[in-house]
Amino acid sequence: MRHFLTSTLWLVSAVVLSGCGGGHGAGTPPTPQPLFFDTTGNWQFTTTFSKGMNSLSAAGSFSQSVSEVSGTVHVAGSNCFDELAAVGLTGKLASSKITFTSTSVSGQVITLVGNITGTSFTGTFAIEGGCAGGDQGAVTGVKMPSITSTLNGTFTSSGKEAFTLTAEVTQGSANSDGSYGITGTTTFGPSCFKSGTIISGDFSSASFIAGASVVLEIETDNGTISFHGTAAQSGEISGDFVISNSTCNQTGTAVFVAGGQWDY
């Protein structure tokens, strides 16, 4: 499905070129090029301020209908934006160029201008109005692959005790708030737990991914494991965990590694 839009546009280009006639005779027709990249998916953006201020991040889902692109993101790293508040973005592709304009958030409007492919964005941003008015700089973005896969996790408590788990994880469709719910089941190596269920949620609760941010809430046969981490495109997720309502409450760090290559 990830190549459906691009493949369809290639076919349209081929039909148009074959109907034009002239110039190529009976020779091999030129290879058709996609009119637009497929930008649909889960994106992570990072800014660099021209004034040397701390960088911001924005994460969320994007959808595309031919040249029209819309998204819902959450902005982190700024006192001027509530990270829990969803920010809408809309733009129109002209080949690989696009300008995104946000909905107004407390009088603040974000504009992104740059070049986008199916998996990356480079450009500039500017904020007009409100608390962050006048902020501007460079911005880069990457489309994150789906984390649907088998994840092998190693959990290490603050007391240096370790246990392992295997999670069969499925990333769902985009929620209205720009996040993607995560469901799944878990089995454990020797530990306080035997099995668990990953509870799906959205940006404010339970298990989800938005950009590179991953939150897992695992209801086990002996309490709840809450994990907050960051995903890398290489297939690794690292972060912190808390165990609650269990006979072995503890905190620590955890690393998940995908059993196979993630796909877009």
Band (21; pLDDT cuts 50, 70, 90): very low
On whether the CB atoms of residues 75 and 211 are closer than 8 A, the answer is no
Q: Do domains 39-144 and 149-258 have the same CATH topology?
A: yes
Band (167; pLDDT cuts 50, 70, 90): very high
pLDDT of 136 over the 70 cut = yes
Give 192-201 pLDDT, tens digit per residue.
999 999 999 9
Q: How far apart are CA 247 and CA 223, in angstroms?
A: 8
- In order, the DSSP letters of the chain are -TTHHHHHHHHHHHHHHHHH-SSSTTSPPPPP--SS----EEEEEEEEETT-PPP-EEEEEEEEETTEEEEEEEEES-TTS-TTS-EEEEEEEETTEEEEEEPPBTTBEEEEEEEE-SSEEEEEEEEESSTTTT-EEEEEEEEEPB--EEEEEEEEETTS-EEEEEEEEEEEEEPTTS-EEEEEEEEESSSS-SEEEEPB-BTTBSBEEETTEEEEEEEETTEEEEEEEEE-TTSEEEEEEEEESSTT--EEEEEEEESS--B-
Query: Cβ neighbours of residue 229 under 8 Å, at least 6 residues apart?
Result: 213, 214, 215, 216, 237, 238, 239, 240, 254, 256
pLDDT of 72 over the 60 cut = yes
The more confident residue out of 2 and 181 is 181
Band (263; pLDDT cuts 50, 70, 90): confident
Question: What is the per-residue pLDDT for 65?
Answer: 93
Give 189-244 pLDDT, tens digit per residue.
999 999 999 999 999 899 999 999 999 999 999 999 999 999 998 899 999 999 99
Q: Where are the domains of the chain?
A: 1-22+30-36, 39-144, 149-258
Average pLDDT on 151-156 reads: 97
Residue 207 sits at φ, ψ, to 5 deg, of -105, 130
pLDDT of 13 over the 90 cut = no
β-pair partners for 260: none
CATH of 39-144, one of 3.40.30.160, 3.40.50.10800, 2.40.128.120, 3.40.50.720: 2.40.128.120
Instruction: Note the pTM of the prediction, 2 decimals.
Output: 0.84
Assigned fold of 149-258 = Lipocalin (2.40.128)
Q: Let me know how long the chain is.
A: 264
β-pair partners for 239: 229, 254
Average pLDDT on 120-138 reads: 94
Average pLDDT on 87-106 reads: 95
Radius of gyration of the chain from its Cα atoms, rounded to whole angstroms? 22
